[in-house]
Chain A
Amino acid sequence: MTVVSTASGLLAMLQEQHPVLKLHALTNLNVLVDNFWPEISTNISAIESLYEDEQFHERQLAALVASKVFYHLGELNDSLIYALGAGPLFDVSEDSEYVQTLVAKCVDEYISLSVKASETESESMPLDPRLVAIVERMLDKCMQDGKFQQAVGIALECRRLDKLEEAIIRSENAPAMLSYCLRISQTFVNRREFRHEVLRLLVKSYQNLQQPDYLSICQCLMFLDDPSTVANILDKLLKGDKNDTLLAYQVAFDLFENEYQKFLLNVRDRLPEPAVAGALNPEVGGFANGVVGAHNENGISAMTDGGPMAMDTSEELATLSTPAGGSGDTASASERLPERSPYADRLSKLKAILSGETPISLTLQFLYSHNRSDLAILKTIKHSVEMRNSVGHSATIYSNALMHAGTTVDTFLRENLDWLSRATNWAKFSATAGLGVIHRGHLQQGRSLMAPYLPQNGGLGGGSPYSEGGALYALGLIHANHGEGIKQFLLESLRNTSNDVIQHGACLGLGLAALGTADEEIYEDIKNVLYTDNAVAGEAAGISIGLLMVGTASEKAHEMLTYAHDTQHEKIIRGLALGIALVVYGREEEADTLIEQMTRDQDPILRYGGMYAIAMAYQGTANNSAIRRLLHFAVSDVSDDVRRTAVLALGFVLCSEPEQTPRIVSLLSESYNAHVRYGAAMAVGISCAGSGSSEAISLLEPLTSDAVDFVRQGALIAMAMVMLQTTEAREVRVGSFRRQLEKIINDKHEETMSKMGAILAQGILDAGGRNVAIMLQSRTGHDRVTAVVGMAVFSQFWYWYPLIYFISLSFVPTAFIGLNEDLRMPKFDFTSEAKPSMFGYPPSVAPPTTASAVKLPTAVLSTSVRAKARGARKDLESRSGKSIVQEATATLPSNNQSIPDGPNSNAEILVDDESTATARDENAMDVEGVVDSKKSTSAEPLFEVLSNPARVVPAQEKYIKFNENSRYAPLKLKRAPSGFVMLRDLEPSEPVELVSTDSPASAAAGNTGPSPNAPASTVVVEDNEPPPPEPFEYMPTE
């Protein structure tokens, strides 16, 4: 085949007079341009002049040739201009590199132009219609080919809502498209206003569907902060049939999961009042009555009946001097039991969900009954920590608090009162505050629990200010983000004191309880504390204002900044800096002015605050400019603190894309600067928390044996966060990490800092009775304000240890809680199609022998374990008879719980036979031995049957299957099987079987006198606690 060796002939032909010759030349050049562009490029001006020649009727062809030449020359901009000139000749569907490159360039150009146009808000530069035409042709082509996801993506980036809508409507599977759209609009649309527009469009499209997806609509509306529409939808659903009601509850639970307190309260307030005005109390009582009447001392009832009262009659509650009054009131209310319409009933239930009482109490109950924390670990820690080492001592207390966060199990404290009383001053403060973490969510009885330590009305009580301050802080932790009932009390406590320690506690407590409410009254009071210019109180006040104003971006931030410049105290400046950062939470670009101001400040502490401000404003957005700024500061700032924080802040910005973080900070983790290494470790810990990501672990592993003690501390804590709820079966390094922790704790020569890190890491690793995970984003992709804020303040523990407790805000129980329409848990089984060991609890540690702790006991060992246990028991018995019973009752729930989860059904029978508490304890040991020995001999089953409520860790969700012939089915199949799931009853005529539950130890009844110096002694010991009721059949009254 003969080919031409040069295009010069054709180029010469271009110079000919006759237009036909020119056309002939151009047509041939268009074909040959890919081979002869170097030759043609020298004559490009001839082609260009042809294009500009108005007389020439094939100008577009000339443009196309010119465009191709420029493309080959790498001049994409010129190429694009000529391609646009080529009009229809430029075929977007052509499958060549040239067309693909240019179309990409075209779309990029269009995106940048339209983004610029929309951001400057001026129509100064109208877009080139030809450019728009090409993009639209491209979009149409996408849609014709059925590539709707691409079309949605381009439309979103181009800010073309009309095209977006078209893509959604034209796709066959509109609901799937909508959910895709929702997801990407949250992850990829950086600009808030536009995101809101998209969401508004989505809501509109959702509503146009045949079956509106109310779950998603309400999610969108929450992002849009539109409580009244949500309230309308919920109201409409409540008036519908049973399924609609269930749906309304499910919507409410899902909204609750996002922890947007202000929004939830707004929705609640916009719902109509139940029919009879002033009948709320009886209603609540009536609702409670149904439960209380059915089973005595049931956890739900105990919690829910008081909860709404606490909400709606907060003033009343605040004036009540004894908690007994509350329960008395409930009791009297329950006696009345008026008849009321099902609608009002549903409405009050819905409100209970929205205000958080129902979910919180269910969670509390779950955490209590499923608590699997291992006291042996704590004992080991306690023994290995030196007596006089106060850091180790308080670290143990912190660790205990985290391990039992939300479980209400304070056995360890009660058993070690003498040891505990060694805590003095601020250690006492945090020891008391630790109770708040343990009892987190115990809304109703929180105050009575803490009563002994609280400052007495009428001036200074006999107690130490440290425990009083700690108690106020604890109250805040208990009521974090749901503090309607307690904030008045905290406010009064703050006003009544002039002691800086108590002020400190009260400020933190208030901030937590009134998180994000922007309450002016509280603000004024805290500001007064701030202006006393006391370092201790001022620091807490600064943080507290931040907590109060989370995400409001109010003018207060400037006030705070001004004061930060005025004051001399570093502590106050630091508190304020963090506070300001919290104020701009999630505001993205809006916060840029403030961030700029802070990051350019002379004072390194304010620059440090600036880093936090970037972290908070851009949390979870993975915004490139934020990342760039942080990286810049991480390597260029003169202050170590700022650099450390800058790296740490990366963790927050990237928390929506945890897989990115290890890659981005990997270089920083090898920095010569120890502070930067620490920051890198924490960043990975924060963003990859609970992921068990092997990259993250590989990055952290070398840092856990770093030369610098505080780097080791950070790495250990971060590692614990990453490995949270990861089993050895999924990641082998979990086991070795646990051993490493143990070694560090026992090592006499280890430095205090890293030892403290190891102790805390133990606490985090087994946090919340091994039933919680750290989640900075909810399942629907919304950021969980409380969790992020908690994590941010926690990361501040570098300066102030008591702030460690803030991490408990980011704990989420990993539970599947199925509820029927009465919001109670029916008996319901489902399957997890994975080996039990994949997601199970870690094996418990053999009590005194720490050496063999992690190994599975063999059949022979099981007897020796029992023997050892007996030995240990005898020792205890000799100390005091009473404490045994205590321990037995305390450990009972956890043992009891282990059985349904275990693979062996024999175990259940064994336990059922037991009668006394002491015998139970011993036999429970036995059971474990049997279970363990069986495990070692028989093959592990490939699936596991879980019963409601069950522990379902996030990674396990995809293995969950619901039995088809089961009586109950989840309302929404597509929803992730975790959290609160409303169940549809397929056989409504059958009697309902409810799950019998263990309730958290109730301290309300017999609270004895205060003894502030020994915190745990006041926790009520219920010697004669009746055994939990046998399973029974509940007959509904209606």
Chain B
Amino acid sequence: MEEKLHDIRQTFQKFKAAYATNSFDTCSNLLSQLKVKLTELPGLPPLFKPSPTAVQELLLARDIFEHAVVLSVKMEDQDAFERHFLQLKSYYTDTRGLISPSEQEYPILGLNLLRLLVQNRIAEFHTELELLPPEAHENPCIKHAVELEQSFMEGAYNRVLSARQAVPHETYVYFMDLLAKTVRDEIAGCSEKAYDSLSVADAKKILMFSSDRELQGYVIEDHPNWEIRGSSVYFQKVKDLAPCKEIPSLQLINQTLGYARELERIV
């Protein structure tokens, strides 16, 4: 067991070295080796076999996965981020009492929240939030994500965008960029509903593009049904939307009021 641990530690050292030099290919190769080696350690989840080296194993594995999570952010790989985070999460939730909490815990949890926000998975965002203890909400990393979500929900997109300048951790920048894109998509969706057409200048302003080219590229890539004619952007509304069946609101109101009156009389 000791040898294995030792072996893993050595590989991890190499990984850290490569990580420090940002040579991502070496990193991911080493990481893959590390993960395979980790499966041989019995003290890790889901087995949690008690052994004299269990604590060391856990600490080491947690460290590896924390690095893996950060690495995937650096490599801008959201899927890998999710995979690593989910594997790491077990070390945070299930090992309390076995090993001391990690310093990286809140930043990584915050990152995850941010990721969920970026992917517009609001339900999961709140589930994760509920699982956190109350004191964690005071942590700047978590707080940052929570505030972002609130602004996002309110539609205060400018606040979301300006928050990029106040990131609590350098890894957050990647997600903040992605968030800008998410925000833009939201705005685009709203404008499509709200307007028939917009002037290119307005559209540029609303969608926060600095040049016409960027706007054009965006339209071609994400909204092929939009059309730029002259100096205006025309939103092709989905015209053939089935007309909403009119709710017989007046009748309903009358009925409800009637019930209320009757109810009062009976009581």
Contact of A12 among B36, B50, B87, B98 (CB under 8 A): B87
Chain A residue at smallest Cβ distance from B79: A15
Q: A729 on the interface (CB 8 Å rule)?
A: no
Q: A20 on the interface (CB 8 Å rule)?
A: yes
Give the contacts of B82-104 with A (CB-CB under 8 A): 82-90, 93-95, 97-98
**When chains A and B are docked, how far (Å) is the Cα of A32 from the Cα of B94?**
15
Contact of A16 among B45, B83, B93, B97 (CB under 8 A): B83
Q: Which residues of B contact A9 (CB under 8 A)?
A: 45-46, 86-90
Chain B 15-53 interface 0/1 with A at a Cβ cutoff of 8 Å (1 = within): 000000000000000001001100100000111101000
Pair B39/A2 contact, Cβ less than 8 Å: no
A20-B46 contact, Cβ under 8 Å, with A6-B89, A8-B89: no
Pair A12/B48 contact, Cβ less than 8 Å: no
Pair A28/B46 contact, Cβ less than 8 Å: yes
Q: Which residues of B contact A5 (CB under 8 A)?
A: 90, 93-94
**When chains A and B are docked, how far (Å) is the Cα of A9 from the Cα of B95?**
14
Pair B83/A2 contact, Cβ less than 8 Å: no
**When chains A and B are docked, how far (Å) is the Cα of A523 from the Cα of B235?**
94
Pair A6/B36 contact, Cβ less than 8 Å: no
Contact of A2 among B35, B86, B94 (CB under 8 A): B94
Q: A21 on the interface (CB 8 Å rule)?
A: yes
Pair A24/B89 contact, Cβ less than 8 Å: no
Q: Which residues of A contact B94 (CB under 8 A)?
A: 2-5
A15-B83 contact, Cβ under 8 Å, with A4-B45, A28-B47: yes
Q: Which residues of A contact B47 (CB under 8 A)?
A: 28
**When chains A and B are docked, how far (Å) is the Cα of A13 from the Cα of B89?**
12
Q: Which residues of B contact A189 (CB under 8 A)?
A: none
Q: A173 on the interface (CB 8 Å rule)?
A: no
Contact of B39 among A7, A11, A15, A24 (CB under 8 A): A24
Which residue of A2, A13, A17, A32 has the most chain B CB atoms within 10 A of its CB atom?
Answer: A2
Give the contacts of A773-808 with B (CB-CB under 8 A): none
**When chains A and B are docked, how far (Å) is the Cα of A15 from the Cα of B82?**
10
Q: Closest CB of chain B to A765's CB: distance in Å?
A: 67
Q: A1 on the interface (CB 8 Å rule)?
A: yes
Chain A residue at smallest Cβ distance from B85: A12
Q: Closest CB of chain B to A2's CB: distance in Å?
A: 4
Pair A18/B32 contact, Cβ less than 8 Å: yes
Tally chain A residues at the interface, Cβ within 8 Å.
Answer: 23
Pair A18/B82 contact, Cβ less than 8 Å: no
Contact of A20 among B36, B45, B50, B83 (CB under 8 A): B36
Q: Which residues of B contact A13 (CB under 8 A)?
A: 83, 87
Give the contacts of A8-36 with B (CB-CB under 8 A): 8-13, 15-18, 20-21, 24, 28, 31-32
Q: Which residues of A contact B98 (CB under 8 A)?
A: 2
Chain B residue at smallest Cβ distance from A13: B87
Q: Closest CB of chain A to B82's CB: distance in Å?
A: 7
Contact of B36 among A11, A15, A18, A31 (CB under 8 A): A18
A6-B87 contact, Cβ under 8 Å, with A18-B36, A20-B36: no
**When chains A and B are docked, how far (Å) is the Cα of A13 from the Cα of B88?**
11
**When chains A and B are docked, how far (Å) is the Cα of A2 from the Cα of B49?**
9
Pair B35/A16 contact, Cβ less than 8 Å: yes
**When chains A and B are docked, how far (Å) is the Cα of A11 from the Cα of B87?**
9
Q: Which residues of A contact B83 (CB under 8 A)?
A: 12-13, 15-16
Pair B36/A2 contact, Cβ less than 8 Å: no
Q: Which residues of B contact A2 (CB under 8 A)?
A: 48, 94-95, 97-98
Chain A 374-394 interface 0/1 with B at a Cβ cutoff of 8 Å (1 = within): 000000000000000000000
Chain B residue at smallest Cβ distance from A23: B39
Chain B residue at smallest Cβ distance from A15: B83
Q: Which residues of B contact A7 (CB under 8 A)?
A: 46
A21-B89 contact, Cβ under 8 Å, with A2-B94, A4-B45: no
Q: Closest CB of chain A to B41's CB: distance in Å?
A: 11
Q: Which residues of B contact A17 (CB under 8 A)?
A: 32
Contact of B93 among A6, A28, A31 (CB under 8 A): A6
Chain A residue at smallest Cβ distance from B50: A1
Which residue of B36, B83, B88 has the most chain A CB atoms within 10 A of its CB atom?
Answer: B83
A4-B87 contact, Cβ under 8 Å, with A12-B82, A17-B32, A21-B39: no
Q: Which residues of B contact A16 (CB under 8 A)?
A: 35, 83
Chain B residue at smallest Cβ distance from A14: B83
A21-B36 contact, Cβ under 8 Å, with A2-B95, A4-B90, A9-B89: yes
**When chains A and B are docked, how far (Å) is the Cα of A24 from the Cα of B50?**
19
Q: Which residues of A contact B90 (CB under 8 A)?
A: 4-6, 9
**When chains A and B are docked, how far (Å) is the Cα of A11 from the Cα of B85?**
12
Chain B residue at smallest Cβ distance from A27: B39
Q: Which residues of B contact A20 (CB under 8 A)?
A: 36, 39
Q: Which residues of A contact B48 (CB under 8 A)?
A: 1-4
Chain B 68-84 interface 0/1 with A at a Cβ cutoff of 8 Å (1 = within): 00000000000100111
Q: Closest CB of chain B to A24's CB: distance in Å?
A: 4
**When chains A and B are docked, how far (Å) is the Cα of A12 from the Cα of B48?**
18
Pair A18/B87 contact, Cβ less than 8 Å: no
**When chains A and B are docked, how far (Å) is the Cα of A1007 from the Cα of B224?**
119
Q: Closest CB of chain A to B37's CB: distance in Å?
A: 10
**When chains A and B are docked, how far (Å) is the Cα of A5 from the Cα of B50?**
17
**When chains A and B are docked, how far (Å) is the Cα of A6 from the Cα of B86?**
10
Q: Closest CB of chain B to A34's CB: distance in Å?
A: 13
Q: Which residues of A contact B85 (CB under 8 A)?
A: 12
Chain B residue at smallest Cβ distance from A25: B39
Q: Which residues of B contact A4 (CB under 8 A)?
A: 45-46, 48, 90, 94
Q: Which residues of B contact A11 (CB under 8 A)?
A: 86
Q: Closest CB of chain A to B112's CB: distance in Å?
A: 12
Q: Which residues of A contact B32 (CB under 8 A)?
A: 17-18
**When chains A and B are docked, how far (Å) is the Cα of A153 from the Cα of B257?**
70
**When chains A and B are docked, how far (Å) is the Cα of A280 from the Cα of B48?**
94
Chain B residue at smallest Cβ distance from A20: B36
Pair B86/A32 contact, Cβ less than 8 Å: no
Q: Which residues of A contact B79 (CB under 8 A)?
A: 15
Which residue of B36, B46, B87, B89 has the most chain A CB atoms within 10 A of its CB atom?
Answer: B46
Q: Closest CB of chain A to B134's CB: distance in Å?
A: 19
Q: Which residues of B contact A15 (CB under 8 A)?
A: 79, 83
Contact of B46 among A12, A18, A21, A32 (CB under 8 A): A32
**When chains A and B are docked, how far (Å) is the Cα of A13 from the Cα of B90?**
12
Q: Which residues of B contact A6 (CB under 8 A)?
A: 89-90, 93
What are 8 A-B contacts defined by CB distance under 8 Å?
A3-B46, A3-B48, A5-B93, A6-B89, A6-B90, A12-B83, A12-B85, A21-B36
Q: A6-B93, A16-B83, A17-B32 are in contact. List 5 more A-B contacts (CB 8 A).
A: A8-B86, A8-B89, A9-B46, A11-B86, A12-B87
Ranked nearest first, the 4 interchain pairs of A and B with the lowest CB-CB distance are A12-B86, A24-B39, A4-B46, A2-B48
